């Protein structure tokens, strides 16, 4: 997934340089979907082509060209004009192994359709490199910011284990019990979302909440006795706590001026961090592109404290975020057009790494 937020006031072109799938307010056509046109940019050897599957919203592009670097700018371009603020999201993949490590797939934003146009592009390369490349003036040198998380750099198992039942509805993992035997998740069952627990060995499910509204964001306390979650059963989204078996569901936050999401308990069991949207966001919604606050609340006594204001939301603290010593809190935020990994140290916001994806 490549994401970025842009604030831009002049007319520009946004496009797929090799392939792209996205949503936008453009009227879709059966030929090019949300895009207006397609062409080859630069002196390519073989004419490119584009196909669009209207049932899946997928685009398949084929193109040739030596590179998109220095004075070599040849590629297949699928584009639409756009003006004003916009957000780009793209799910991309190569088809086939390929032979050139410099082949690219991604999106680009350009002032014109000429090869030497001012531009910025986010691309995944054939050798796994992921980078943000840009040109500040016409026919100028290309510049680059390389992501430290270039693909492929994935650690995991070759034999993943399924822990929830297939064919019963979507399941969104949020927490794992301290003994690693139970997963808790938001499950879409019978047309609504509630919190469920499942045995990782048998996949047997237990429904923990049952309300007509949304229950989400579940996480175990470090001792496994409680589950914290967010629910909008009272109107706004607020933080709740229940026993691990689903009993004794108790509301913990009560500020009706905010919608509170994703509680995370410090490993020492003393503090709870969570994220707050304003009431301009629907209580059941949690977009990734809003001004939000991160709050810290003592679990024994005390009032919530605003720790930091940031631009983010969905994805900022969806999953457990604490360091083992309860002194740091990690999160994702959007800063000046990049996705930033931040560390909260003694509740002051320090940027520890920036990368563009």
Hey, what domains does the chain have and what are their CATH numbers? 2-146 (no CATH), 171-355 (2.120.10.30)
Read off the pLDDT band of 214 (50, 70, 90): very high
In the predicted structure, residue 10 carries a pLDDT above the cut 70: no
HEC states along 312-346? ECCCCCCCCCECCCCCEEEEEEEECCEEEEEEEEC
Structure confidence by residue, pLDDT tens digits, 27-51: 445 688 888 888 888 888 888 888 8
Pairing of strands 271-278, 290-298: antiparallel
**Residue % of the chain over a pLDDT of 70:** 80
- The residues near 159 (Cβ < 8 Å, ≥ 6 apart) are none
Q: How far does CA 96 lie from the centroid of its chain?
A: 26
Structure confidence by residue, pLDDT tens digits, 180-190: 999 999 999 98
Read off the pLDDT band of 233 (50, 70, 90): very high
CA distances from 136 to 41, 104, 133, 139, 263 (A): 19, 20, 10, 9, 42
Q: What is the DSSP-derived secondary structure letter of residue 29?
A: B
Structure confidence by residue, pLDDT tens digits, 235-290: 999 999 999 999 999 999 999 999 999 999 999 999 999 999 999 999 999 998 88
Read off the pLDDT band of 3 (50, 70, 90): very low
Tokens of 62: 């084929």
Q: How far does CA 324 lie from the centroid of its chain?
A: 24
Mean pLDDT of 150-159: 62
Structure confidence by residue, pLDDT tens digits, 95-105: 887 777 778 88
In the predicted structure, residue 108 carries a pLDDT above the cut 80: yes
Closest of 113, 103, 118, 117 to residue 37, by C-alpha: 113
CA distances from 15 to 37, 92, 293, 313 (A): 10, 13, 33, 26
Residue, of 238 and 127, whose pLDDT is higher = 238
Of 78-92, 132-146, 192-206, 283-297, where does mean pLDDT reach its minimum?
Answer: 78-92
């Amino acid at each position: 997934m490549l994401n970025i937020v842009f604030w831009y006031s002049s007319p520009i072109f946004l496009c797929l340089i090799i392939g792209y799938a996205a949503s936008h307010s453009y009227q879709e056509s059966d030929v090019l979907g949300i895009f207006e046109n397609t062409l080859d940019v630069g002196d390519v050897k073989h004419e490119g082509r584009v196909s669009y599957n209207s049932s899946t919203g997928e685009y398949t592009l084929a193109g040739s060209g030596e590179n998109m670097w220095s004075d070599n700018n040849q590629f297949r371009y699928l584009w639409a004009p756009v003006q004003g603020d916009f957000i780009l999201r793209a799910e991309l993949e190569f088809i086939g192994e390929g032979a050139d490590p410099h082949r690219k797939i991604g999106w680009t934003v350009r002032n014109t359709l000429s090869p030497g146009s001012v531009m910025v592009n986010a691309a995944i390369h054939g050798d796994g490199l992921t980078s943000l490349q840009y040109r500040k003036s016409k026919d100028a040198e290309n510049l680059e910011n390389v992501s430290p998380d270039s693909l492929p750099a994935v650690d995991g198992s070759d034999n993943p284990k399924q822990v929830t039942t297939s064919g019963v509805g979507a399941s969104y993992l949020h927490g794992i019990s301290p003994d690693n035997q139970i997963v808790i998740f938001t499950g879409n069952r019978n047309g609504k979302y509630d919190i469920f627990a499942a045995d990782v060995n048998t996949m047997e499910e237990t429904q923990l909440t049952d309300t007509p509204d949304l229950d989400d964001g579940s996480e175990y306390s470090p001792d496994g006795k409680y589950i914290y979650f967010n629910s909008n059963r009272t109107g706004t989204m607020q933080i709740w706590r229940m026993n691990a078996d689903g009993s004794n569901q108790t509301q913990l936050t009560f500020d009706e001026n905010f919608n509170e999401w994703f509680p995370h308990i410090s490993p020492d069991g003393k503090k709870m961090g969570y994220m707050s949207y304003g009431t301009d966001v629907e209580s059941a919604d949690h977009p990734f592109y809003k001004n939000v606050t991160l709050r810290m609340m003592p679990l024994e006594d005390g009032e919530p404290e605003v720790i930091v204001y940031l631009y983010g939301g969905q994805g900022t603290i969806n999953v457990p975020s604490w360091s083992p010593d309860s002194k740091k809190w990690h999160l994702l935020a959007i800063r000046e057009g990049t996705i930033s990994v931040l560390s909260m140290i003694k509740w002051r916001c320090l940027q520890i790494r920036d990368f563009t994806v």
